[in-house]
Amino acid sequence: MGADAVFRVEGLRKSFGRNEVLGGISLDLFAGEVTVLMGANGAGKSTLVKIVSGVYSHDGGTMQLAGATFDPQTPAEAIRAGVVTVHQNINDGVVAELDVATNLTLDRLSGKGASLLFKPANVRAEARAVADRMGLAIDLRARVADLSLADRQMVAIARAMAHRPKVLILDEPTSSLSSAEAERLFSLIDRLRGQGVAILYISHRMSDIRRLADRIVSMRDGAVSGVFGRKPLDYEGAVNAMLGRKIHLDRVVARSSARAVFTAQGLRLAQGAKPISMTLGTGEVVAITGLVGVGKTALAETLFGVRRPLAGTMQMDGKPFAPKSARQAIAAGVFLVAKDRATSGIVGGFNIERNISLPFLKRMSGLGVMKKRAERAIARRQIDELGIVCRSEKDDLSALSGGNQQKVMVARWMSQAARLFILDEPFQGVDISARRDIAAKLRASADGRATLIFVTELDEALETADRILVMSEHTIVGEHRNDDIDLDRLLAQVAGGPLTSAA
């Protein structure tokens, strides 16, 4: 290891069945430095973190901490050795019903010498020492459940630092914080860096990365695809390495539309974010791309009525559109294929036919009786048009491959006429064949509606859309017609470049 390299991962491998998730990862972390880890969904980041923190075992490779072999079998072993992880879900790092003081000393209360800390005065004294060391100005008597999200995040980190770790891993720590709250977190990270802690910071938010990173490590498909440590840091190069540049793929013939279906004016998604204004035309397929965490899902949920914008107005076909629920959005002809089919789409125990018809059962019934023939005919037509591989529409959805399950989720919302059809990461977890089937169907059926897809992978946007919009920091920072696109310019905007647009 080089000077001050306190942690080393070398040739780490991990497979789940035949699926190799990590294919030989090597990574060094240095004392007093923030190493940012970037990777698209499925790159292997979570698996790497779970191995390092003792949740998973590895199949090959080695880890070293301060020159000694490091191979934790449980999270507790990792913590005792000096590697502490603060997970993205803050509730994993705090006990909401307990007060701040108890949370900060909770791990010591269950360890050696616990009897000395059971007295409230001792607990508060120990907690005050931890809080002072972290510069944490929070009422120690307050119940954690009553704190703001940012303060709970601070408590989770302070609790982790009570172990005085050599390595601290922070997984998307600002994903739910405002810009002001994030700056408080950054100040704390600066303090920890000054104390010599090696920090692995997992994020896709370019504002975070520009503010904190001493080095950037990019991952793609279970391997390190780039390491960037020379100043000034090459942010665009890091994004290129993370996303890849498979620009040999099929291209579309871009179409234009003169008739607006949907317009947004001054739409603000988050505190401190610049407003969004956009128009979507009939027959047009528009892709919105950007890194994870830039606000794509927030925008999709706003259009579908499950999230309210902080400001701005929307119109559908020239009339005000402000849905207060998904039901109202559906009634207005706005359909959404949600990002996570496992929790927001698939209904276990239902067959293909019923999964497709589920949102529209009322339309398929008369006098309280289901029109089974109509339900079956719609399912069969969608199976045929999308090429869903199954024995019949009566197959249980769990029996299908991931790609075919995703086709069913798309088929559900394509079974009825929409005015605005929204798809959030519709190609996630599907192979290239299924992806192209879905993309072809979206384009072939685009007449009579506006289609909006949210994707992280640029090749998915290039294969599907007439226009590509780029999101960063919860706003639109670029617009490109999918015809001789300047890919370097597009990638620069994805990486958090200046607010410019290209025709």
Residues 287 and 400 in one domain: no
Asked whether residue 498 carries a pLDDT value surpassing 50, the answer given is: no
**Residues 275, 203 share a domain:** no
Top-confidence range, 75-79, 214-218, 269-273: 214-218
Give the integer Cα–Cα distance in Å for 328 and 48: 42
Average pLDDT, the chain: 84
**Does the residue 175 lie in any domain?**
no
pTM of the model: 0.60
Residue 48 belongs to a domain with what CATH number?
3.40.50.300
Per-residue HEC secondary structure of 145-182 comes to HHCCHHHHHHHHHHHHHCCCCCEEEEECCCCCCCHHHH
Q: What pLDDT is recorded for position 201? A: 95
Query: Over 90: is that where the pLDDT of 311 sits?
Result: yes
Dihedral class, residue 32 (left if φ above 0, else alpha if ψ from -120 to 50, else beta): left
Q: What pLDDT is recorded for position 364?
A: 64
Are residues 266 and 394 both part of a single domain?
no
d(CA 96, CA 92): 10
Query: What is residue 275's DSSP assignment?
Result: P
Q: Are residues 467 and 364 in the same domain?
A: no
Least confident of 1-5, 14-18, 492-496: 1-5
467 and 366 part of one domain = no
Task: Specify whether 401 is located in the same domain as 439.
Answer: no
Asked if the structure places residue 193 within a domain, the reply is no
Q: How many CA atoms lie within 13 A of 269 on its CB side?
A: 24
In 3-state terms, what secondary structure has residue 351?
A: strand
**Domain assignment of residue 218, given as a range:** 1-82+198-244
Structural domain total, the chain: 3
Q: Which candidate, 195, 197, 157, 196, places its Cα nearest to that of 177?
A: 157
What is residue 428's three-state secondary structure? coil
- Same domain, yes or no: 298 and 421: yes
Least confident of 117-121, 246-250, 453-457, 492-496: 246-250
Residues 448 and 497 reside in one and the same domain: yes
Beta pairing class for 215-220 and 34-39 = parallel
Q: Answer whether 32's CB lies under 8 Å from 198's CB.
A: yes
Residues in CB range of 200: below 8 A, 6 or more apart: 29, 35, 37, 49, 167, 168, 169, 170
In this structure, the answer to whether residues 436 and 462 fall within a common structural domain is yes
CA gap 491, 445 in Å, rounded: 29
Is 165 a member of any domain? no
